[in-house]
Amino acid sequence: MQVNNEFRPKIVAFCCNWCSYAGADLAGTNRANYPADVKIIRVPCSCRVNPMFILRAFQRGADGVILCGCHPGDCHYTTGNYYARRRMTMLFSMLSYLGIEKGRTRVEWVSAAEGAKFAATMNEFVETITALGENKRLEDLRCKK
Amino acid sequence: MRRIGVFVCHCGTNIAGTVDVKTVAETLGKEPAVVYATDYPYMCSEAGQNIIKDAIKEYKLEGVVVCSCSPRMHEATFRKAVSAAGLNPYLLEVANIREQCSWIHKDMEAGTAKAIVLGRAAIAKVQLNAPLIAGESPVVKRALVIGGGIAGIQTALDIADAGYPVDIVEKEPTIGGKMTQIDKTFPTLDCSSCILTPKMVECAQNENITIYSYSEVEAVTGFVGNFSVKIRRKARFVDENKCTGCGVCTEKCPVKNVPDEYNLGLSNRHAAYIPFAQAIPNVAVLDKNRCIKLTKGKCGLCSTVCSAGAIDYEQKETIVEEKYGAIVAATGYNPIKIDGYDEFAYSQSKDVVTSLEFERILKADGPTDGHLQRLSDGKQPKTIVFVQCVGSRESGSSHGCGKEYCSKICCMYTAKHAMLCREKYPDTDVYVFYIDVRTPGKNYDEFYRRAVEQYGVHYIKGMVGKVAPQADGSLMVQASDLISNEQLHVKADMVVLAAAIEPDKSARPLATMLTASMDTNDFFTEAHAKLRPVESPTAGVFLSGVCQGPKDIPETVAQAGAAASKVIGLLAKDKLSCNPCVAHSNEMMCNGCSSCANVCPYGAITYADKDFSRRQDGSMIRRVASVNEAVCQGCGACTVACPSGAMDLKGFSTSQIMAEVDAICK
């Protein structure tokens, strides 16, 4: 396999406002490093993430998408992360049917106190995506002008 | 296309250290919509805010992007500034280039590139922001305090003093908490009961305070200003209104061998009992697991001796439902179970005790009536060894129950114990084994120095490796002295273990009910570690005492007062402005399928038949969803459930998030 050292993956991370986004902030406060390839989008709750957003990210050339929410039972809105979990299970199985490797998508629970876990998760995810290489399967070339 | 202004903050060197802020401002300035872009050392300062305000007016900005710290930190600040310049406060987006960029990336090039992308995403989003107006909701002027220890008591008294009604829910039969079990308090050595019991009485007498003792919170719904709480009042089988607290039932009760919780099981109580003499409310309780009448249907002695006729074997638990504007968690702590620390022989010898047990031994209403005695043979110990940090500051999980944090109070109470031993019994030899002695606090170090210099307590830096019970009843303590680098063997009569403290077990389920966040040790998380230390990130929930982190009594009382003042500030308002980022339904697209209502955790969505008749099409009445904006909390579950795309969330609309995705993936 040809390894391209120049390859830097594009990674979109959806983080819920109450737990994971705060966890990401804590990672920053603790200066817990992870690669700059991860770009975070803040959503009120993991259940706000429409499967469409993830498809859109892949269509626009993202190499990996991760969704982070509160731990089961700890959702600020009581049940949001359960909805997210079910929706993503459905979406990911369909993505795998389309030939998108399983490692490119992920759901992770990160609490507001888990800055170290957030950084560790991102490091690991970037590593996985870098190993998988560029994602072209869903990319819409019309978007590349 | 809207006219956008971009403001890049240096945050001193916090951002500028690893992000080239000039380049960020220049690059973002070239984006098509951006009419003005600048950078400034501290955007949140007054001068920084003025730059934003002036630019809004001068360049007729229709949207503002601030590239700075986390929006959780200063979004509200910048919204105010934008609003002051006449722009709708929701036409602002914050790009988080500090916590999520400069602080985690060491490489200037990567950091700068990422900051630019985050800025572009914010610009793309703000293009689609709608001007939002916050609605208002009324405030129920009543507070709930969960936990009736010194933290809860002080919070309740302060709230009641300001004239607001407040309810205390305490799971034990009496309020008072851990402080009732303590003998003396550091650094003044005044009697714990003497300063606590007047406050307990004050709670009972204050007309603004209602005490629900022997009760637990069952369910919490609602939101800031309007919580609805179910309180389960456990059956005590004694009518609280009739019982005079005379104590005859507790004396006559034939079941005498129930471990006494107040004495940590070091003595026994009856099945009918009052926890201790100064209990509030001073009302007896029947232990339903041990009472002969309640378990076997026989006996009934207490009922015959009760002259007030207060005993009620048929009493059932009841549920009280009440509305509150604010809730204070004051659930407190417990020492950890130290059965896992076999090396200290805690489970093998009665003369190895925890510090709280030692506290009971010293206190006049304890199992030894306040005499310093060994529990095994009643003899006065001549040599006492105190072991610090049992389960505190433990990395890894060598014992499975240790805590990484410092329990904070042990150094001081051990100095107190050592001092009290030497004061009352000057012929006692006292050793304290420690890792570090931590005494930050007013008059604390002086107190510790007194223990060493005036009272001659032997402080030895080093940890105890093993406590071995000997045939003659003594305890051989093996330890290392880290300063002289020697192995020590001390023959002791008593060993006292300073067990780590941990949050009460009731805190975790309570946090789930309150949707309040906790850290990995089950301490409640504060809204901001430094600037909002008594508020939970969940609006309307406040924190008092050790449930937020280890503290001693003075700190707990200070925090309790602080929590009370925050509650008073909230209850003093007649109305609160609501979060305007709520769901709304596009009636033209809605087909009334109920998918959204099925996933809404708040029941905020209702349906109504609406007339869409037009002249050319004739009559058309459709069932459509509508969102109650005062009830909706803005989670967005409905937006994804809606099959026709009629539901959207203000502030986090589908098109806004898509625009962010596009900008990031560009």
pLDDT of residue B577: 87
Q: Are A70 and A20 in contact (CB under 8 A)?
A: yes
Tell whether the torsion through CA atoms of A89, B520, B357 and B176 is positive or negative: negative
Strand B136-138 to strand B143-146: parallel, antiparallel, or no bridges (unpaired)? unpaired
Interface of A with B in 59-88 (CB under 8 A): 60-62, 70, 73-80, 83, 87
Give A-chain residues touching B118 at CB under 8 angstroms. Answer: 39
% of chain A beyond a pLDDT of 90: 79
Tokens 């009594």: give the residue.
B553
**Nearest by CB to A28, which of B103, B113, B114?**
B103
CA-nearest residue of chain B to A24? B100
Q: Which DSSP state fits B454? A: T
The answer to whether B635 contacts A45, with C-beta atoms less than 8 Å apart, is yes
Buried b (16+ CB within 10 A) or exposed e, B181-208: bbbbbbbeeeebbeebbebbebbeebeb
pLDDT of residue A1: 43
Cα B392 to chain centroid distance, Å, stands at: 20
**Nearest by CB to A12, which of B515, B525, B661?**
B661
SS3 state of residue B331? coil
Q: Is the pLDDT of residue A145 over 60?
A: no
DSSP assignment of B494-547 equals EEEEEE-EEE-TTHHHHHHHHT--B-TTSPBPPSBTTTBTTB-SSTTEEE-GGG
Structure tokens that stand for B249 in this block? 């039932």
Residue A108: other Cβ atoms inside 10 A: 20
Q: Name the nearest CA neighbour of B286 among B232, B236, B361.
A: B236
pLDDT of residue A5: 62
pLDDT of residue A143: 65
**Nearest by CB to A80, which of B71, B538, B635?**
B635
One-letter identity of residue A42? R
pTM across the whole model = 0.86
**Nearest by CB to A76, which of B100, B515, B666?**
B515
Q: Which DSSP state fits B99? A: I
Q: Report all structural domains of chain A as residue ranges with CATH numbers, in order of start.
A: 8-114+125-130 (3.40.50)
DSSP assignment of B60-83 equals T-SEEEEEES-HHHHHHHHHHHHH
Instruction: Pick out chain B residues at pLDDT < 70.
Output: 396-398
pLDDT of residue B1: 87
Q: How far is the C-alpha of B545 from the C-alpha of B569, rounded, in Å?
A: 19
The answer to whether B652 contacts A19, with C-beta atoms less than 8 Å apart, is no
My answer on whether omega of the bond before B187 falls inside 30° of 0, hence cis, is yes
Give B-chain residues touching A51 at CB under 8 angstroms. Answer: 640
| pLDDT (tens digit per residue) in A38-62 | 999 999 999 999 999 999 999 999 9
pLDDT of residue B397: 63
Q: Widest CA span of chain A, in angstroms?
A: 47
Touching check for B633 and chain A: CB below 8 Å? yes
Here the ipTM equals 0.95
Rounded to a whole number, what is the distance in Å from the CA of B229 to chain A's nearest CA? 16
Residue A131: other Cβ atoms inside 10 A: 12
The answer to whether B641 contacts A111, with C-beta atoms less than 8 Å apart, is no
Q: Which DSSP state fits B177? A: G
Tokens 């995705």: give the residue.
B661
SS (H, E, C) B201-260: HHHHHCCCEEEECCEEEEEEEEECCEEEEEEEECCCCECCCCCCCCCHHHHHCCCCCEEC
pLDDT of residue B222: 87
Q: Which of A47, A65, A136 to mutate to test the interface with B (most CBs of B within 10 A)?
A: A47
pLDDT of residue B398: 67
Q: Are B538 and B516 in contact (CB under 8 A)?
A: yes
| pLDDT (tens digit per residue) in A98-140 | 889 999 999 999 999 999 999 999 999 999 999 999 988 887 7
